[in-house]
Structure 1
């Protein structure tokens, strides 16, 4: 049995709803599943197991991807990953957002991948679908061994 470990940020509940779909897929495949919401009130801890981060895209400033565009609402997750040796256990990032924002869709996950030198594994829109959860489960499972 594989145990899939997830750290995530969720501001409006979209990512949390997707994580619940992903948990159902993992459990239906006989895998363990652990997911923790990381927010401003989360106390820092030292991670000791591999995990994948799920991060929605919330941006302010400008209309493109230049330096004037700032991350909002997800900074606590980035700070948590940067704490101690936590980044060493990060295996990749899955992002979400609204495709109406074109080039900014999924920009936060792309930036996390670059900042922490891990792959941006996949992206889905808003709350995602059951199909998205199945597809992403199959993409992240290899990061946790068999």
Structure 2
């Protein structure tokens, strides 16, 4: 049995919906699933097991991908990953966004992957589909061993 650990940010419920789909698929395959919503009021803790981060894209400013574009609503997750040695346990990023925003789609996920030196594993739109969650499960399961 594989244990899959997920840390995530969610503001409007889209990421929560995706995490629930991923949990369902993980447990249907006989694996264990653990997830934790990280927000502004989350106390910092030292992670001791591998995990992936699921991060939505909420941006402010600019019309492209330059430095004037800043992340909003997901900073608590980035700060949590940066705390102590937590980034050492991060295996990769799954990102989301709205394709209507063109080059800004999944920009936060791409920035997290670059900042923490981990792979950008997958990106889905809004709440993601069941098919997206199945793809993510198949991508991340090997990262957690058997």
Question: TM-score of the superposition, structure 1-length normalised?
Answer: 0.99
Give the structure 1 partner of residue 106 of structure 2: 106
Give the structure 2 partner of residue 144 of structure 1: 144
Give the structure 2 partner of residue 130 of structure 1: 130
Give the structure 1 partner of residue 29 of structure 2: 29
Structure 1's unaligned 5+ residue stretches are: none
Give the structure 1 partner of residue 45 of structure 2: 45
Matches within 5 A, 1:8-27: 8-27=8-27
Give the structure 2 partner of residue 58 of structure 1: 58
Give the structure 2 partner of residue 81 of structure 1: 81
Q: 2 CA distance for matches of 1:17 and 1:5? A: 16
Give the structure 2 partner of residue 68 of structure 1: 68
Q: 2 CA distance for matches of 1:48 and 1:16? A: 23
Deviating runs (4+, > 6 A) in structure 1?
none
Q: Say whether residues 1:117 and 2:134 are aligned partners.
A: no
Question: TM-score of the superposition, structure 2-length normalised?
Answer: 0.99
Q: 1 CA distance for matches of 2:114 and 2:133? A: 24
RMSD between aligned residues: 0.3
User: Shift in Å at residue 12 of structure 1?
Assistant: 0.2
Give the count of matched residue pairs: 146
3-state SS of paired residue (2:26):
helix
User: Shift in Å at residue 64 of structure 1?
Assistant: 0.2
